[in-house]
């Protein structure tokens, strides 16, 4: 199986945010809110770090 | 000021206290939860939570193997690999089953090898957190 970076990230974020939400919160409504927050945070931080690394040279990378 | 005083004097709902299990039973339940992800919560009556946790861990483990991730053995020649082993072994029985079936060999030149290996580490670490959650519930520290 070969997943794109974004798909792998999304699946990872979805599973981890589900577990975090269910461990840290007790009420279903709180769990949903916290889970969505963690999931979106994962995606946002990944995009931010990706753009921060954009100017860096890809030395030695030969696709 | 008045609002603060009123808020403090307002009756707070009593926290739900479940009767704690004895320590031996708690440890047995947690061991079961480590060996089979989600089992601890199912044994203490949290069916839905247990099934969701099991689905998350097994799904992540399956994805990790499908992406040709590597499962680490206990090797003292490479000291840093011990940490990877500890993370991997958190998955419990699925780890040994996959090792027995030679599924977690890891193909380094596979495009998603790194992702797969990370998935395999993280699902083991998540299972440790899940077991600790079950421990807190069984001890009555958490509703």
Q: Given a cut of 70, is residue B37 above it in pLDDT? A: yes
Average pLDDT over residues B59-78: 92
Ordered by start, the domain boundaries in chain A are: 7-48
Average pLDDT over residues B39-48: 94
Structure tokens at B5: 């005083």
Q: What is the ipTM of this complex?
A: 0.85
A8:B112 CB<8 A: yes
Question: Looking up tokens 């840093």, which residue turns up?
Answer: B80
Of the candidates A1, A2, A19, the beta carbon closest to that of B129 is on: A19
A27 C-beta neighbours (distance < 10 Å), count: 10
Of the candidates B53, B67, B118, the beta carbon closest to that of A19 is on: B53
Q: If DSSP codes are grouped into helix, strand and coil, which group holds residue B36?
A: coil
Q: Model confidence over B13-28: pLDDT tens digits?
A: 544 556 788 999 999 9
Q: How confident is the model at residue B76 (pLDDT cuts 50, 70, 90)?
A: confident
Which DSSP letter does residue B141 get? Answer: S
Collect all residues of chain B within an 8 Å Cβ-Cβ radius of residue A26.
142-143
Q: Model confidence over A3-45: pLDDT tens digits?
A: 888 999 999 999 999 999 999 999 999 999 999 999 999 999 9
Average pLDDT over residues A47-51: 92
Q: Given a cut of 50, is residue B102 above it in pLDDT? A: yes
A12:B119 CB<8 A: yes
Collect all residues of chain A within an 8 Å Cβ-Cβ radius of residue B49.
22
In A, minimum Cα distance to B50 occurs at A22
Q: Given a cut of 90, is residue B120 above it in pLDDT? A: yes
Across A42-46, B101-105, B137-141, least confident range: B101-105
B53:A1 CB<8 A: no
Q: Within an 8 Å CB–CB cutoff, is residue A6 touching chain B?
A: no
For residue B36, which of B6, B15, B61 has the smallest C-alpha distance?
B61
- Residues A41 and B15: their CA atoms lie apart, in Å, by 30
- Residues B69 and B108: their CA atoms lie apart, in Å, by 8
Ordered by start, the domain boundaries in chain B are: 21-138
Average pLDDT over residues B57-83: 92
* Helix ranges restricted to H, chain B: 2-9, 23-35, 39-43, 47-66, 81-89, 93-100, 113-138
Q: If DSSP codes are grouped into helix, strand and coil, which group holds residue A19?
A: helix
Residues A47, A40 contacting (CB under 8 angstroms) = no
A57 CB-contact burial (10 Å; exposed 0-12 / middle 13-18 / buried 19+): exposed
Of the candidates B49, B63, B110, the beta carbon closest to that of A11 is on: B63
């Amino acid at each position: 199986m070969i997943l794109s970076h974004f798909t792998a990230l999304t699946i990872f974020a979805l599973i981890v945010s589900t577990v975090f939400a269910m461990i840290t919160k007790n009420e279903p409504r709180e769990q949903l809110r916290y889970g969505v927050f963690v999931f979106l945070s994962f995606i946002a931080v990944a995009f931010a770090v990706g753009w921060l690394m954009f100017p860096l040279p890809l030395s030695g990378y030969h696709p | 000021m008045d609002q603060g005083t009123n808020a403090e004097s307002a009756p707070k709902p009593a926290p739900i206290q479940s009767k704690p299990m004895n320590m031996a039973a708690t440890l047995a339940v947690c061991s079961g939860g480590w060996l089979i992800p989600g089992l601890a919560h199912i044994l203490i009556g949290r069916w839905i939570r247990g099934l969701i946790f099991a689905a998350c861990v097994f799904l992540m483990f399956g994805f990790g193997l499908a992406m040709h991730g590597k499962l680490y053995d206990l090797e003292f020649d490479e000291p840093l690999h011990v940490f990877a082993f500890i993370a991997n072994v958190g998955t419990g029985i699925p780890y040994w089953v996959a090792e027995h079936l030679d599924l977690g060999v890891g193909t380094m030149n596979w495009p998603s090898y790194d992702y797969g290996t990370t998935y395999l580490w993280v699902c083991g670490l998540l299972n440790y957190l899940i077991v600790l959650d079950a421990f807190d519930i069984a001890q009555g520290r958490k509703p």
